Structure 1
């Protein structure tokens, strides 16, 4: 079986990192989290990352796929150009791509999650901080509609174990 690329997309606080981490552990896959990459770049340079975080992650993903490892990417992925770039990485590696969009349809719950998040000191020590609710809302306005096929998982309507079982069914596991 060849390597596969699974890209989790969605607004901060939607629950994508929880599902992506769990899936990466289950598969023994490489886990690439854009927040971690951007935190490292900010801490190293003192400047917030723009496209650099995604560019680093695309390169790391390609390296892992070339080794035959599955890759689970965890990112907001709000733009068609970023979605196309992930697809190009998978195409160049000759592997399948599964896009997972994670949403939280309950606005009050989504806001609660965002407002109670803490920076993970193990991976985000330094200047990086999770976004505020106002920043998430601003980002939501720039989140482009999807044109590619994807699986949509709503973390407000189903328990984590049920969502994970559905996710595995899409992978054929």
Structure 2
């Protein structure tokens, strides 16, 4: 039997406030590198549609995403996770997963430096996630106050003025992929 090449998997985790551009980056990366996206919001919305009380689904949705990510990493796939990841406890989920699977962990934090652009995104977006209402700007402001500082390395991307394609290229460059 021939030699098998072992490829190190990557766990790419986007983070940032709602409307910051993290999902656009996750989608662009998925198309470019051919990796699946696991998005926490649709998982949580599915839980709500299954009559699981909302107060029980936040952390559980992250755990479901982590379990599915782990199965994909086990078979050698790179995985992209799309989630706000506002607190260290959520981020630690991905650190533990990458350690268990010996995957390279790359956090990508999206932020929008122009508050007017950010607010307009929130006010105009329609995500269409069945069972999950779009978030109002006031809630984004509350989430900003709840957002914990980072203690780990990450790729930081300002999404205020660049096209989705340019943002993806910036991330790939910072990841050393270009």
TM-score (norm. length: structure 1): 0.93
Separation of aligned partners in 2, 1:131 and 1:34:
15
Structure 1 residues not aligned, in runs of 5+: none
The yes-or-no answer on 1:156 pairing with 2:160 is: yes
* Match of residue 103, structure 1, among 78, 98, 111: 111
Where in structure 2 are the equivalents of 1:51-90 lying within 5 Å?
51-90=59-98
Q: What is the root-mean-square deviation of aligned Cα atoms in Å?
A: 1.2
User: In the TM superposition, what is the alpha-carbon distance from 1:160 to its structure 2 partner?
Assistant: 2.7
The yes-or-no answer on 1:133 pairing with 2:147 is: no
8 Å contact from structure 2 (residues 28, 164) kept in 1: no
User: In the TM superposition, what is the alpha-carbon distance from 1:141 to its structure 2 partner?
Assistant: 0.5
Partner of 2:15 in structure 1?
9
Separation of aligned partners in 2, 1:80 and 1:98:
15
- Structure 1 outlier segments of 4+, above 6 Å: none
Structure 2 residues not aligned, in runs of 5+: 1-6
Partner of 1:91 in structure 2?
99
User: In the TM superposition, what is the alpha-carbon distance from 1:46 to its structure 2 partner?
Assistant: 5.2
User: In the TM superposition, what is the alpha-carbon distance from 1:45 to its structure 2 partner?
Assistant: 1.4
Partner of 2:3 in structure 1?
none
User: In the TM superposition, what is the alpha-carbon distance from 1:156 to its structure 2 partner?
Assistant: 0.6
The yes-or-no answer on 1:25 pairing with 2:51 is: no
User: In the TM superposition, what is the alpha-carbon distance from 1:158 to its structure 2 partner?
Assistant: 2.9
TM-score (norm. length: structure 2): 0.90
User: In the TM superposition, what is the alpha-carbon distance from 1:36 to its structure 2 partner?
Assistant: 0.9
Q: Secondary structure at the match of 1:102?
A: strand
8 Å contact from structure 2 (residues 108, 155) kept in 1: yes
8 Å contact from structure 1 (residues 24, 31) kept in 2: yes
* Match of residue 39, structure 1, among 40, 45, 48: 45
User: In the TM superposition, what is the alpha-carbon distance from 1:15 to its structure 2 partner?
Assistant: 0.7
Question: Greater Rg, structure 1 or structure 2?
Answer: 2
Separation of aligned partners in 2, 1:143 and 1:78:
5
